[in-house]
Amino acid sequence: MTQVKNICCIGAGYVGGPTCAVIAYKCPDIKVTIVDVNATRIAAWNSERLPIYEPGLDEIVFARRNKNLFFSTEVEEAVNEADLIFVSVNTPTKKTGVGAGYAADLAYVESATRGIADVAKSSKIVVEKSTVPCRTAESMRTILEANSSDDIRFDILSNPEFLAEGTAVNDLLYPDRVLIGALQTPEGLKAQKALVEVYAHWVPIERIITTNLWSSELSKLAANALLAQRISSVNALSAICEATGADIDEVAYACGRDSRIGPKFLKASVGFGGSCFQKDILNLVYLSEQLNLPEVAAYWKQVVDLNEYQKKRFVSRIIKTLFNTITNKRIALLGFAFKKDTGDTRESAAITLCKNFIQENAKVRIYDPKVSPEQIYMDLSEPGIVDNTKEVKKHITITSSAYEAADNTDAIVIATEWDEFKTLDYEKIYDRMNKPAFIFDGRLILDASKLRNIGFRVHTIGRPAI
């Protein structure tokens, strides 16, 4: 059996960084080098302030960095030294060309693959870590084989990543499962076994699932589609709750107690965000269309459409409640990240809310404990609604505390479920707000009756207005 001694990971992002840091932490006998073309990102990985915020990540990285864990821009050197290479580059939704708006842009995967073929001087196991459409491994293999000499062999594995941001370290240390797909050939199975051995350093063997390549690739898209589908289902029910007097938390709890349904991923919200759900479902929609399965495509597309509807519905409720206009009103937006415990804002519902408030000429005061002002300006300055940072700055103020954000505002909107928003001194906040003072809880984290006793008018997703 091939024993893996040296790993290279191409892509030092939210997945490559934590995943390979944990491999280095759990496998001190393996040298792990994480490379990226982004020199600023690599410098941050080599500094005291890591480029991404994840609870527990600093300890893992600092424990192994410069021992058996290295961060580098020397892609060629790291690829050459490695026996196993993870390709963990970004696969965003295509913006232009065939499949624009749906298909995954595989340009980064292809460029990383060509890079491997160009420089490899010995045989390698190449592992798809990025989330890719079904049968991408075949394209990678074709590129590698067409660009390498006869005495070098490449075995391709699919090893999709299931970590969630905010809990990445825990998810990696104690995964529900690790999935490794391989071609069902003697060489493919040998490569699969070599990667199983790496994970077996800390993952119980019964949690390591081995499948064929295509099942593994599709399982990743399927898992994200199923998770997002639960959220869209519960969000669809939240609209019915608001119109009938039912309470979505009670409904979700009652349904989730059925062991066939289970309690997780049934929390209604202002809409799911993050870099994966929307992108991966659209990818699945595109795949279904390509396979001439329009009914299947329409089914999954509805999960994304419902998510857009949920965000729009929340904005409409806010405007309607604030006497049908928010022009020149001051709104505190608490939370900008797409979920708590991360500084990541990709596809965050807060961006949509904020852009809508700006369009209505409201003055928005934003606070998030982990998102930098530069990131917020960048997210809001995307062409389409307001075209530059200068213009955006006229509409928004970024504050360093929730209290400061709420000062002299007409309404507070909770967009991210940060724990600290549950324990704020709402009496103090109420005293400093314009009256009537409104709170719109888009995450169902606040005690509405307590707030009403203070004097707030409270509106919660999935509960009727009182």
**From 113, 224, 232, 352, residue interacting with ligand UDX (rule: CB under 6 A):** 224
Nearer to ligand NAD, 41 or 363 (CB): 41
- How many CB atoms within 10 Å of residue 387? 11
Active site residue 255: no
Binding to ligand UDX by residue 309, rule CB under 6 A? no
Residue number, nearest CB to ligand NAD: 13
10 contacts which partner out of ligand UDX, ligand NAD, none, CB within 5 to 8 A by kind?
ligand NAD
Residue number, nearest CB to ligand UDX: 274
Name the nearest CA neighbour of 344 among 378, 308, 304. Answer: 378
Which two three-digit tokens encode residue 359? 């369009």
Nearer to ligand UDX, 36 or 165 (CB): 165
- Cβ partners under 8 Å of residue 189, min gap 6: 182
CB of 241 to ligand UDX, least distance (A): 15
What x-and-dash track marks residues 261-280 binding ligand UDX by CB under 6 A? ----xxx-x--xxx-xx---
* 207 annotated as belonging to a binding site for a ligand: no
Nearer to ligand NAD, 131 or 148 (CB): 131
- Positions touching ligand NAD (CB under 6 A) are 10-16, 35-38, 41, 75, 88-91, 108, 111-112, 115, 130-131, 161, 163, 165, 275-276
Residues 231-250 that bind ligand UDX (CB under 6 A): 231
CB of 191 to ligand NAD, least distance (A): 20
Q: Active-site residues: which are they? A: 276
* Binding positions for ligand UDX, rule: CB under 6 A: 161-165, 224, 227, 231, 265-267, 269, 272-274, 276-277, 338-339
**Which residues are documented as binding site?**
11-16, 36, 41, 89-93, 130-131, 161-165, 220-224, 260, 267-273, 276-279, 338-339, 346, 443
